[in-house]
A = this chain, B = another copy of it.
Amino acid sequence: MREPGMVTPEVTRGDLIDALERADRPAIKRIGRHLPTQELSELLLTLDRRRLQLFVDELGNGFVADEIAQLDPAIGARILGRLTGDEAADVLEEMPPEHAADVVGELGDDQREHFLSEMEHPEAAEVRELLAYPPNTAGGRMTTHHYEIKQSATVAEALAYLRTVGEHGGYASYLYVVDDAGKLMGVAPLNELVISSPDRHVSEFTKRDIVFVEAATDQEMAAKLLRESHLLALPVCDDHRLVGVVTADDMADVLVEEASEDIERLGGSQPLEEPYLTASVWHLFRKRVLWLLALFAAEAYTGSVLRAYEDELSAVVALAFFIPLLIGTGGNTGSQTVTMLVRAIAVGEVQMRHLGRVITREVAVAMMLGVVMAVAAYARSWTLGVPELGEVVALTALCIVVWAAFVAAMLPLVLKKLRVDPAVVSAPLITTLVDGTGLIIYFNIAKIVLRI
């Protein structure tokens, strides 16, 4: 594996293409090792089969496995899918089984079976075991590599066991203690083991009140639990039997993915399931069009509202000047509130029982903001040369800001109560909701103040 943060000579994708063209084996090896992973992956996706094969031959299965393990599994599957069964199997065998399972899981049924049948037996069995768990669960994200020992063992026996397992345990920091049936009984930190005399029993420093996750637990829950526990890994159990561990680095990936999904939803589209640059245009279109149409449908009633006030609008055309400004301000306020709340809910800071407090706070903040915006709106009516509308727009700005904050404060918590993910209350949805109601507020204030 290449080390991040190291100084590497400047090589480009073009250099590697040239080297592959000339079949210059030393150059392929040298340049391939120094190209950043992302560049390399983009290149591998475009190589023809013969050149891809040449690349794998020169760089070795281990190197290719390390690179692919760092990519999105869908991309890894697209690269491996173009190798023959035994070539792909050789690479898969070199990958950590949890990454191999992620990649294999992205392949079609036939190809998956074919690749697995070409793999060595123990590696294939590990991958098959992991494939049994859905990808978004603790089981789907765990590694099967961990240290596991019987509770009757002595320190000397534990050390002997660690010697046989060797590097296969990865950099695990904990030794998990199980009973004869494989049931998880406790955890012993590796550093305790290191400093204990060989004749002591492991059970003497085994912690019994352990935190663990079920294999079927959602990956986001598992990541939160690991974060709260401030441990470097959590054991994963299936029916009380220890089946693997989720580590802090993998859970960091989960936290980043979940934040990305929330951000994409807040922006008003469904989450992409693959990296932006490699997702097809058709995929991007599909993820956006439904929300865009839904928002259009919701926004369409603003037309009906405006038609209902056609007489007022004809009487005072200047009222139209302020439409985008006033509903925009309402939308911005709502967007501020909803994004802040959705995030606070996602990280667990705000819960349903806080609804009353949230609304009080938001309305209080919005009153202050509303006064500021009312002054700004009043000033704008003068600079726009229609001072006769000053009172109307100032009063409307105040009311719309408070109304938008109120709606935006209510909705995420109410949706959470209804078991809908609050992140789907995207900022655009709030904006849309506030647009129509804001217009009703505007024209009613205009009717009263201007007596039209």
Contacts and interface: CB of A to CB of B under 8 A. Distances in A.
Given A227-B256, A321-B306, A427-B335, A295 B328 contact: yes
A307 B193 contact: no
A181 interface: no
A347 interface: yes
Contact of A190 (B173, B211, B302, B332): B173
A29 to B, nearest CB: 18
Contact of A329 (B38, B210, B299, B338): B299
Given A167-B192, A248-B249, A313-B320, 7 more contacts: A3-B229, A193-B194, A232-B247, A263-B343, A281-B365, A292-B373, A293-B372
Contacts of A347: 256, 260
A369 B292 contact: yes
Given A166-B195, A285-B365, A263 B266 contact: yes
Interface in A28-77: 38, 70
A314 to B, nearest CB: 5
Contacts of A314: 317
A414 interface: no
Interface string A269-297: 10010011100010011001101110111
* Copies of this chain, count: 2
B349 A275 contact: yes
A192 B310 CA distance: 80
B361 A296 contact: no
Interface in A197-213: 209-213
A350 to B, nearest CB: 6
Given A159-B195, A335-B267, A380-B300, A317 B324 contact: no
A335 B259 CA distance: 17
A263 B253 contact: no
A176 to B, nearest CB: 14
* 3 closest Cβ pairs, A-B complex: A267-B339, A248-B248, A259-B259
A219 interface: no
A50 to B, nearest CB: 26
Interface stretch (A86-94, A112-120, A122-130, A428-436): A428-436
Interface in A341-370: 341-344, 347-350, 354, 357-358, 361, 364-365, 368-369
19 contacts: A162-B191, A171-B173, A171-B231, A173-B173, A190-B191, A226-B252, A227-B253, A255-B256, A256-B347, A267-B427, A277-B350, A289-B369, A292-B372, A292-B373, A295-B332, A299-B324, A313-B320, A314-B317, A331-B428
Contacts of A295: 328-329, 332
Contact of A328 (B349, B369, B432): B432
Contact of A288 (B248, B291, B354, B365): B365
A384 B308 CA distance: 11
A172 interface: yes
Contact of A340 (B189, B269, B342, B439): B269
